[in-house]
Amino acid sequence: MARNVYGLDLGSYEIKVYDKKKDTIWKEKDVLARKEINELFAVGDEAYEMFGKSPSNIEVVFPMKEGVISRFHDMQFLLAALLKKDRQFVRGAEYVIAVPTDVTEVEKKAFFDLVIHSSAKAKEVNIVERSIADAVGLNLDVQNTKGLFIANFGGETTELSIIAGGGMVMNRLLKTGGKTFDESIINMIRHSHDFLIGRQTAEHLRKSFGVFTSEADEMLPAAGRDLITRVPMQKMISINLVRSAMKEPLLECIRSIQSLLDRTPPEVRKAIKENGIFLTGGVAHTAGLETYIEEMIGIRTRTAIDPDICAVSGLKKIIRSKELRKLAYSMLEENYRWMK
């Protein structure tokens, strides 16, 4: 029996997995909930439900932070629990993992160690730069392109990449993502209404409003706590407040896109202008984001069909195609000889 192959995109918000044997992609929140020390309570989406509502004896842990593994053993534990959950998990599989580029070698190696030294007993581990996986997911010709710009708007990071001739020309990982917007919304509402809302409520407001598309007088109810009376209640929140909270972090992304383009060699920049900018990552679901970027930068911008699973769809193609397999490499070879 052929051994299974898993494609992994470990996000700070959600983990996305491609299971070759079943030919399916699934995703779950990258969260675990623990009762007392080491007693597992819940994993994935179920654990996320407890976030912000859990009693004090339950600890809710996000093992990834800003795109990298911040709590190694928790991440290893969570991954194993998710893979084993009703999914006929068999040990000795092969893993192809999407990794960020603009991180240290130690942080990159942690993705490799995560599965090679786990109870999953990986047979083989290969890695792919995440923006290369995104480009394959977008059906772009990574090998022959003269210039591509991909912006992955994730939960805690925004990864900007320029690809040409099958490789990475430039890459920058910004520590700005959905969480940054949500924290900014929480702060803005606290200051202007003396009203405290949770992160999930802020996220819900951000997703429900058409931040780039709706009329200026739109309002939505939000549950929270009045900071003066201490009473839990609902208040009406205006779209303008959410818009102004998002303005600064969005502008930071725009400035970074522009500065990366400014540093791009002219012939690559010319190709990017022709090919356009591509958006992936969950935040790219926000309607109108591409029009905003297009207007600010002046380059045609398009969004992937399923932006949050674009990278893992790329991993799926890489796993299934002999030709594309070349885009995945082992950390035990070539540049990584120092590890032996």
Of residues 103 and 268, the one with the C-beta less far from ligand ATP? 103
Residue count, binding to Mg ion (CB under 5 A): 2
Q: How far is the CB of 152 from ligand ATP (least distance, A)?
A: 6
Q: How far is the CB of 104 from ligand ATP (least distance, A)?
A: 16
**Partners of residue 303 on adjacent β-strands:** 279
Of residues 204 and 273, the one with the C-beta less far from ligand ATP? 204
Of residues 188 and 271, the one with the C-beta less far from ligand ATP? 188
Question: Among candidates 272, 324, 281, 336, which has minimal Cα distance to 303?
Answer: 281
**CB contact burial 221-250 (16+ within 10 A = b; e otherwise):** ebebeeeeeeeeeebebebebbbebbeebb
Question: Which H or E element spans position 148?
Answer: strand 148-153
Do the beta carbons of residue 31 and residue 108 sit within 8 Å?
no
Of residues 271 and 318, the one with the C-beta less far from ligand ATP? 318
**Partners of residue 261 on adjacent β-strands:** none
Residue 314 is a binding residue for Mg ion (CB under 5 A): no
Do the beta carbons of residue 154 and residue 203 sit within 8 Å?
no
State the binding partner of 5 from Mg ion, ligand ATP, none, CB within 5 to 8 A by kind. none
Of residues 107 and 124, the one with the C-beta less far from Mg ion? 107
Residue 145's SS3 state is: coil
Q: How far is the CB of 130 from ligand ATP (least distance, A)?
A: 8
Candidates 63, 154, 249, 307; binder of Mg ion (CB under 5 A) is 154
Span interacting with Mg ion, options 81-89, 152-160, 176-184, 239-247, rule CB under 5 A: 152-160
Residue 11 is a binding residue for Mg ion (CB under 5 A): yes
**Partners of residue 335 on adjacent β-strands:** none
Residues that bind ligand ATP (CB under 6 A): 11-14, 67, 154-157, 177-178, 203, 207, 281-283, 285-286, 308
Burial of 96 (0-12, 13-18, 19+ CB in 10 A): buried
d(CA 52, CA 168): 39
Residue 178 is a binding residue for Mg ion (CB under 5 A): no
Of residues 111 and 147, the one with the C-beta less far from ligand ATP? 111
Q: How far is the CB of 32 from ligand ATP (least distance, A)?
A: 15
Task: Give residue number: closest CB to ligand ATP.
Answer: 178
Q: Which residue has the tokens 């917007």?
A: 181
Where along the sequence are the contacts to Mg ion (CB under 5 A)?
11, 154
